[in-house]
Amino acid sequence: MPNVAYFTHQDADIAAEITRHAPASYRVTTHAMSLSDDEKSPIVAEVDYLILFPGRITEPLLRAGKSLRLIQLVSAGYEHMPLPLCRELGIPVANNGGTNSTDVAEHTVALILAQYRRMVELDRKMRADPTLDVPVARSTYTVDGKTVGIIGLGNIGTKVARLARAFGANVIYADEAPADLARDADLGIRRVDLPDLLAASDVVTLHVPLAPSTDGLIGAAALERMKSSAILVNTCRGRVVDEAALIEALRAGGIAGAALDVLEREPPSTDNPLLRMNNVTLTPHTAGITFDTWARRGQFIFENIARVERGETPLAVVSGA
């Protein structure tokens, strides 16, 4: 009987949306992520599978897991996992396999629309004074006909491309992986080099993992290539953007605005200038979190564990390269 432990900071009812997908023959226990290592260690030492949300584990705990066959993350991100040590110990680590990609893609488009149509600002002003005449004729925009540049065409980026095309946008993308010509033709999108994407796009949206190659990817030089009328959207990881450079570009009019679900520091310091900029729309790292996502994540998690039980290779194994 597979023995599974789930360490999480979620409320019990949300955690149950994950664990209810376990086969009846599995022994699954749920524990608070806030437990100390001393409290977690005997649990980890006895289990075959570990589910983590968020994806963090210390070296002593990892070494205590003598029987671990898979560490399964509920999240897409894995930047806090000690992947070199996991590889040394022969423990594969899998992320959520894109099961929150629909949620992030929808949130991305919502941020684009909110920024283009000044929704947050107009909501605030209408609540303060319903009779106030707010001029918008020269400061709101349509997505139809604009060029949306997607950096990173994985699960999320591909779904953003489909949604943007449905709004009538032209879509270009940059990605380290080779182009899939059949997919690109089906989506009606075109691959370009990153500098060309930055220069041509009205909307630049980021969908890459945080890795050495993407840390600070959008810095001063990249922002200088963008149109002064363009907006930047980030729903991946805060450190993909050099925040100081972004703040300067927003202040100087180098770009028109930004819509950010992630920041370098979360939660941000109360003196972060982004919190007081009218040309910035912010959400608190919630793009991938909807009630509907937990069922999809739970299904994937226990299907992945079942693969290992059958002697098959788990899906969505991350390397951290």
Is 9 catalytic? The answer is no
How far is the C-alpha of 321 from the C-alpha of 310, rounded, in Å?
A: 28
Q: Which of 224, 266, 303, 312 is catalytic?
A: 266
How far is the C-alpha of 10 from the C-alpha of 309, rounded, in Å?
A: 26
Cα–Cα separations (whole angstroms), residue 3 to 22, 26, 28, 67: 11, 6, 6, 10
Q: How many CA atoms lie within 13 A of 259 on its CB side?
A: 25
Place of tokens 């299904």: 299
Is 266 catalytic? The answer is yes
Q: Which of 69, 80, 285, 307 is catalytic?
A: 285
User: What pairs with residue 30 in β-bridges?
Assistant: 6
Give Cβ neighbours of residue 22 (< 8 Å, ≥ 6 apart): 4, 28, 302
Instruction: Evaluate whether 250 touches 227 at the Cβ level (below 8 Å).
Output: no
Is 31 catalytic? The answer is no
Instruction: Evaluate whether 88 touches 320 at the Cβ level (below 8 Å).
Output: no
How far is the C-alpha of 190 from the C-alpha of 298, rounded, in Å?
A: 34
Helix ranges, 57-190 (H)? 59-64, 83-89, 101-117, 119-128, 155-166, 181-187
Residue 79 burial (CB < 10 Å; 0-12/13-18/19+)? middle
Q: Which of 21, 207, 237, 296 is catalytic?
A: 237
Structure tokens at 288: 């991938």
Q: How many CA atoms lie within 13 A of 123 on its CB side?
A: 7
- ∠ CA 207-271-264 to the nearest 5 degrees? 25
Element (H, E) at 13: helix 12-19
Q: Which residues are known catalytic residues? A: 237, 266, 285
